[in-house]
Structure formats: structure tokens, C-alpha cells
Chain A
């Protein structure tokens, strides 16, 4: 079965500082990995995805993530945090049948002015 673990349920960074949100996955097959962002009272918005090919994936709003098979990780980064980045972030892996996504428990990002 597939699963993801997000380390750190809450992360605080200063505006302009590096954002690093951690995600480790477990999968018995080559995984497809996703990062989503959720703003209050909204659904989830796709930030980026890794399927095949380049291991460094660039997404929207300046975010990127690197797939590291040896570490079973897919951490999300952004060089410089903006106040508008404050939200809940979810890492997800798709299941073998392609019909189910397994989400982590989320990381709440706070950006301090």
C-alpha cells in the first residue's frame, strides 16, 4: 500500500526566509507524488506533481520539490516565503490502481512578518 508522512504539523518561517516542508512516502511501486495547498474554507489546489522524468519539479507560486528515491522523500521548498503562502499543505501519493490518492495529515505554514 502507499502512504505519505509529513514531518511537522506546524511550521513557522519569517517573511523572506526559506520554506521547507517535509514529506516521506512509502510505495511498493514507482510513486506518483503531489503537493496540494489548502487555504481556509477552500478546497485543495495542486501545487506540483512528480510522475516521471526530471526529479526536480517546479510548481506554481515559486514552489518546487525534489524526488529523492534513495531517501523516499519529496520535500517542498520555496526560496523566499511570502505572507500569502500561509496555508495548509498536503503531500499525496497515488495508489497502484490509479483511483485513490493517499494524503498526509498536512503541515500548517505560518509566515511571520
Chain B
């Protein structure tokens, strides 16, 4: 069973630039969620994709956008990067929508904005 994989592992960008982060979900999982984890904090929900459509969004501005592909992989795009966007970005997949379906996380992408 292949787990959740994310790429790249580390990324350094300049304020104002755009970035794309990628995620391959665990085999058999059809739902992908993205979380932002700032240093010393718990993960914060960005959004979730189910069957290629956004299925819920946290308190993040529109410059955070995403995609889910037919093979359930996903991308997170962030435009007009700000210094505060520096964080660990975690992708998590799950088998289905549902209150009790646990999230399976990748190791994250560490984004540094200078």
C-alpha cells in the first residue's frame, strides 16, 4: 500500500511569487485535504477535494487554490506569496467523506518565503 507522497519536500520562494505543491494520495483514497502548519502550531484546514470538486474551505484567501485530478492526486497553488505563508503544508487523504474517516498525512512540503 502506497502512502501519501508530497513534492517537493522543501521550497524557497520570494514574496509575490507563485508556488505549486503536489500530492499523491494513498491508494484507494478518493478525498484529499490540505493543511497549513505554522511553526509551533497545529495544522489549519485550507480546503478539501472530493471527486475533483472543492468540498469545504477554511479561512484562507482566494489566492490559495487547488485541484484534484481523476487519479485523486492533488495540487495546492498559492499566488502572490506573503511572508506569513511560510509554513509546512500537509496533504492528507482519506477513503471517503465522513465524520469518522481518519486523515492519512504525507510528510509535508516546507515552504519558506523570503
Show the binding face of A for B, using Cβ within 8 Å: 32, 34, 36, 41-46, 49, 51-52, 90, 92, 94-106
Contacts and interface: CB of A to CB of B under 8 A. Distances in A.
Contacts of B56: 97, 99-100
B55 interface: yes
A71 B55 CA distance: 32
A98 B42 contact: no
B104 to A, nearest CB: 7
Interface residues of B, number: 29
B102 A46 contact: yes
Nearest to A9: B40
A42 B107 contact: yes
B43 A46 contact: no
B99 A94 contact: yes
A99 B42 contact: no
Contacts of B105: 36, 43-45
A94 B101 CA distance: 9
Given A99-B55, A100-B58, A106-B40, 16 more contacts: A34-B103, A41-B107, A43-B4, A43-B90, A43-B108, A44-B90, A45-B105, A46-B103, A90-B43, A94-B99, A98-B97, A98-B98, A99-B56, A101-B45, A105-B42, A106-B41
B100 interface: yes
A43 to B, nearest CB: 4
Enumerate the 8 nearest inter-chain pairs by beta-carbon distance, A residue then B residue, closest first. Answer: A103-B42, A43-B105, A99-B56, A51-B100, A98-B99, A44-B105, A99-B48, A100-B45
A44 B43 contact: yes
Interface in B36-92: 40-45, 48, 50, 55-56, 58, 90, 92
